[in-house]
Amino acid sequence: MKTGRNALRSNANCAQNLWGKMSRSSLRALRELTVRHHLSVPSGDVQYLDGRWYVTHTGLLSLALRRRCAGIRTSLQKGVSNPTASRWVFKATVYKSPDSRGFVGYGDADPSNVSSLVRGAEMRVAETRAVNRALRKAYGIGLCSFEELGRFSALAKPLAVQPQVNGHHGSNGSSNGQPRLRDQLCLLIRQHNLDPTLVKAYAADFCGTETLREASRDLVESFITQLAASVKKDRDALVCKLNSYAHHVEAKP
């Protein structure tokens, strides 16, 4: 019981630190996700956009592992895919137990319904969406998954007024209605399974500031652009570079 209360408190505190003060209905919905499915905000199991909760691929896989999922099978649907147009369709089947008949989900992706941050990776996005839909069916998750959204950036609007630094909007804010940089960076980290702590350390070094929060919006935009290009060109090389910041992170109190 105590552990459950701690999980609820941790999720609520982390969510409001990330996305600002929330309505009672949003907090009630988060409580339901915590109690029923044991989803964790700090672990990236859910995302909050435009006043709505979305489960993530990470959260669904964690749930499947806890429920002892017997397996997931995916297959490319060649008949309706078009490699020339970068349009891909996948079928995923989730087996909750060895004798399960399976829960089926389909996912598609093409340049018109993916973020510019993952352009060129439509095949992987399509497979992820298919797996997410199958997992949601298998475990009774009524929420849409974050990766199934058509255009992540179009939905990643500011949810709260962010504090200003030296009279200018901080790196997580937006003064012109554009997507919050924090949302763009979180998406990039999640899509490519990067270590968020090391990415923040790299970002601060890139921007020449003690912390990422202190950097100007222009610098953070430049960093996100470079990070997206680096991970697309050679993810392994980027991971090696990120790992070089591990000692810097450990040295901080």
Q: Is residue 9 part of a domain?
A: no
Q: Is residue 37 part of a domain?
A: no
Q: Is residue 203 part of a domain?
A: yes
Q: Is residue 32 part of a domain?
A: no
Q: Is residue 17 part of a domain?
A: no
Residues 118 and 193 occupy one common structural domain: no
The number of folded domains in the chain is 2
Alpha carbons 158 and 135: distance in angstroms, whole number = 29
Q: Is residue 21 part of a domain?
A: no
Residues 59 and 137 occupy one common structural domain: yes
What pTM, to 2 d.p., does this model score?
Answer: 0.61
Confidence (pLDDT) at 248: 59
Confidence (pLDDT) at 250: 54
User: Running along the chain, 253 residues long, what does each successive block of 10 average in pLDDT?
Assistant: 71 88 93 92 88 92 95 96 96 96 96 81 93 96 88 38 36 44 81 86 84 81 84 83 72 52
Residues 144 and 162 occupy one common structural domain: no
Last residue of a domain, one of 152, 183, 216: 152
Residues 163 and 148 occupy one common structural domain: no
Q: Tell me whether residue 237 is exposed, middle or buried, using C-beta atoms within 10 angstroms of its C-beta: 0 to 12, 13 to 18, 19 or more.
A: exposed
Domain that holds residue 216: 156-251
Last residue of a domain, one of 152, 176, 191: 152
Compute the Cα dihedral for 41, 42, 45, 46 and give only its sign.
positive
Q: Is residue 28 part of a domain?
A: no
Q: Which helix (H) or strand (E) holds 90?
A: strand 88-95
Q: Is residue 2 part of a domain?
A: no
Confidence (pLDDT) at 170: 41
Residues 56 and 145 occupy one common structural domain: yes
Please give the span between the terminal C-alpha atoms of the chain, in angstroms, as a whole number: 32
CATH number at residue 141: 3.30.160.20
Residues 147 and 161 occupy one common structural domain: no
